[in-house]
Structure 1
């Protein structure tokens, strides 16, 4: 049994989705970012945090990688070329989609108001569109890494959903179709119900 700390409308969604996909039991503690409960577990105040017995794992990607390796699901085996390729796509998503969206969020509501520069968002939307178009060209199967769904797909679709919510235009039809197919998965739908 795992305990997940965080609210589903954050990157916690990714971890909950993975747990639903692999059928692992978990409890959800809907703690807010930077709350005393979270900062006691993660000095950065970021969610999600995964409790495993008496240990804690932070960062959604680290948590999903741990779960994938532990359960042998949604990941290629460690030490294989397929895993290295999966990790490369995962890091590309974190660098080119997630980081752009996070920067926009920081300049929208996270940073102190006097530190925000809302004008940067137009540049970020342009950057996101170009990165998304290049990503779409890499899709070589129903999933980002071919015929097998991996944690990269969870990160990607979560970022695409985040982009839509942040009013970043998603004009690439290949990516839109890919995301629509993944959103139809039952595990995604169960977590989406938690987030509403």
Structure 2
């Protein structure tokens, strides 16, 4: 059975979404990063970068959530999440890489300087710059979605599953106030039956007191 190391609300959500859409069985192996479980020898043997998610599918060990998404969609081409033409595949890669480099990275910088780094290492000015950069790139994506239902072509692709999670993250950080098309797109994507919980839903669930 496929094994997935990691747990919501991390970028393991992107992989969970693909697994759900494909109807694949998998074993979730939670990794608590805040407790340092990502630096245990067992996980470091799978990913020396000490990050999640990590997918183990037989002899295949993969890290990087976008790469895992592409692997799953490529392995199960019958689902149609990889565009048929080389031109549309190129467009899918373009927006997938855009999301990872131009929107996810500033969001990650904001998180690092907001609560991940020890207080003495946090740089509020860098977080402010990251917010500005992210807003500019969100505006680019908002313009791209004029007249579109999906990131590429006329059907859902890997780029959409990555985009929905990344934009959910951006929405939680207050980045989509001037992006009505992206908000509508996000709502439509999370209305899919196989969609995972949003980041906000996971955090709200984790904050609930345990009944005794």
TM superposition score normalised by structure 2 = 0.83
Alignment of 1:19-58 (within 5 A): 19-33=19-33, 34-36=38-40, 37-58=42-63
Q: Does 1:143 align with 2:179?
A: no
Question: Matches of 1:145 and 1:133 in 2, distance apart?
Answer: 17
SS state of the match for residue 146, structure 1? coil
User: Aligned to 1:116, which of 109, 122, 128?
Assistant: 122
Partner of 2:66: 61
Find the structure with the greater CA-based Rg: 2
How far did residue 35 of structure 1 move? 4.1
User: What CA distance in whole angstroms lies between the structure 2 residues aligned with 1:146 and 1:3?
Assistant: 32
Q: Distance in 1 between matches of 2:100 and 2:187?
A: 20
1:126-152 CA deviation, whole Å, 9 max, x = no partner?
221221111111124211113111111
Superposed displacement of residue 171, structure 1: 2.3
Q: Tell me what 2:172 maps to.
A: 165
5+ residue gaps in structure 1?
A: none
**Is the 1:163–1:170 Cα contact (8 Å) retained in structure 2?**
no
- Aligned-residue offset at 1:115: 2.2
Deviation at residue 124 of structure 1 after TM alignment = 1.9
Contact 1:125 1:169 in 2 (8 A): no
Question: Is 2:75 aligned against 1:70?
Answer: yes
Structure 2 residues not aligned, in runs of 5+: 206-212
1:65-110, Cα deviation, whole Å (9 max, x unpaired):
1111100131224x71110111011111111111111111121233
Structure 1: 4+ residue segments shifted above 6 A = none
Give the superposition deviation at 1:192: 1.1
Moved more, 14-23 or 108-117: 108-117
Residue 51 of structure 1: SS of its match in structure 2? Answer: strand
CA distance in 1, matches of 2:28, 2:178: 34
